[in-house]
Structure 1
Amino acid sequence: MNRKPNKRAAPDLVCDGLRHAILSGELAQGMPLRQDQLAEQFGTSRIPVREALRQLEAEGLVRIEPNKGARVTPLSLADVLEMLEIRIALECHALRLAIAQMVEEDFALAEQILRRYDAQSDPDSWALMNRQFHWALYTPCHKPRLLALIDANSKHFDRFVRGQVSRASGKERPQKEHYQLLELCRQGQTDSACALLAAHIEQTKKSVQASQRHSAN
């Protein structure tokens, strides 16, 4: 986070730095964000910091409360379960649009990601491999706004769980479903592929709830 932006681009670079710190977990949920400290840290005045905080509030990453200041937006389990419902709606739509546009190179890329996923034993890396695989399936839809919504929702979700789901669900079942999903896409079975994707994300909801129960205990 110790970046010193030039004055012309200060708000954007402060915003980018804070966004990265929040999404990576460097700044935890609920953490206060003091404008004077951030201005010193980024080597700028408080005005660019204030603009950056307003932008991040619009993105849902920061909450600004009157007379209390700004803090990293906390997420509840209910928030995360709602994000998964949003995932089903957005991602199934993207997949439905993408399948008709897929070519062999798309299938080869997705399979390559799955092979790397198979060889990876570190649970912390499974979430990244999972995102890469799903993204490879959705990008052929060529709908940048839809993809941006999927990406933003995914990043909010990831900052809540950060590998917890991977540990709770393991790798065998998700990978089996990934290969099944890829094969349905190859065959052009759009309805079956979307149904499997919805069930796949529903299972993620159960894994999130299980992870939270284990954490509470």
Structure 2
Amino acid sequence: MTKQKQSRVRHQVDRRSLAEEIRDSLRERIVAGEFRDGDALIQELVAEEYGASRIPVREALRQLEACGLVSMETHKGTVVSTIPTEEVEELFEVRAMLECDLLVRAIPAMTDRDVAGSREALDGLEESYRKEDISAWGRLNWAFHRRLYEPARRPRTLAMLQAIHLQTERYIRLHLLMTEGQAGAARDHRELLRLCAHRDIEGARIFLRAHILDTGTSLVAALRAHRAQTAL
């Protein structure tokens, strides 16, 4: 009986690990645009592609659904979620509220070590821009923002914010590629970091809010144009 229980526990750990690997791989492929909005993800085909059973694939898809990247639709199965442009705009407005609140709470608690960690994260993001390492942009962008907000010690808000970043990452990446906006993003991030390093709470809040909302407005306009063109 003891051996049977040990075997069962070991199997569950392995299966969960495989589900996470499949989830991360599918997430990157969705964000990279390999799977487009509305594309079907058929469990049997995904399982065959990864050399896995349907069980870890099903779990991976459930986790992606929780992130808002896919949806389970009756008679269609699992499809890549399409976020209407109005909702993309709303997500950026929510981002502005949450991130500004976190930043205002974080700056008074920031240490020089926190600022150095944020600078290191930003260096990594800028390096990925220079190398055109597109697959790393979203992860490193979130790493920079997370380092700025962590001193606020609001883990639940950070978790909600990360989910929003995951939902909008594919559109941000598309926008950067269409507009070649990496240099502008890097300048904005450097200025935001400078304001934080000087502990300029109000200046940083105003700048961050404008940065997020301006990015959202530009992205939504580009997304509308892109969708109109692809619909022809």
Q: Establish whether TM, by shorter chain, passes 0.5.
A: yes
Distance 1:72 1:39 in 2: 17
CA contact (8 A) 1:30 1:72 kept: yes
Give the secondary structure class of the aligned counterpart of 1:188: coil
Alignment correspondent of 2:67: 59
Structure 2 counterpart of 1:185, one-letter code: C
Structure 2 counterpart of 1:66, one-letter code: T
Alignment correspondent of 2:165: 154
Structure 1 counterpart of 2:25, one-letter code: H
Residue of structure 1 aligned with 2:117, choices 80, 84, 109 = 109
- Aligned-pair identity in percent equals 34
- Figure out how many residues of one structure are paired with residues of the other and give that number: 212
Summarize deviations over 1:127-169 as a string: whole Å, max 9, x none: 4554443232112223222222222211211122324236527
Alignment correspondent of 1:10: 15
The TM-score with structure 2 as length reference comes to 0.74
Give the Å deviation of 1:210: 4.0
CA contact (8 A) 2:67 2:166 kept: no
Give the Å deviation of 1:13: 2.4
Alignment correspondent of 1:83: 91
Q: Which moved more, 1:47-56 or 1:204-213?
A: 47-56
Which structure 1 segments of 5+ residues have no match?
Answer: 1-5
Which structure 2 segments of 5+ residues have no match?
Answer: 1-9
Distance 2:27 2:124 in 1: 28
Give the Å deviation of 1:182: 2.1
Distance 2:11 2:111 in 1: 45
Give the Å deviation of 1:117: 5.8
Q: Which moved more, 1:69-78 or 1:179-188?
A: 179-188
Structure 1 counterpart of 2:81, one-letter code: T
The TM-score with structure 1 as length reference comes to 0.78
Distance 1:114 1:33 in 2: 34
Give the Å deviation of 1:46: 2.9
The alpha-carbon distance between structure 1 residues 132 and 163, as it changes in their structure 2 partners (threshold 3 A), is: farther
Alignment correspondent of 1:3: none
Structure 1 counterpart of 2:172, one-letter code: V
The alpha-carbon distance between structure 1 residues 171 and 32, as it changes in their structure 2 partners (threshold 3 A), is: closer
Summarize deviations over 1:50-77 as a string: whole Å, max 9, x none: 3443343233222112222111212232
CA contact (8 A) 1:7 1:44 kept: no
The alpha-carbon distance between structure 1 residues 139 and 61, as it changes in their structure 2 partners (threshold 3 A), is: same
Summarize deviations over 1:103-125 as a string: whole Å, max 9, x none: 11222233345556667545665
Structure holding more helix per residue: 2
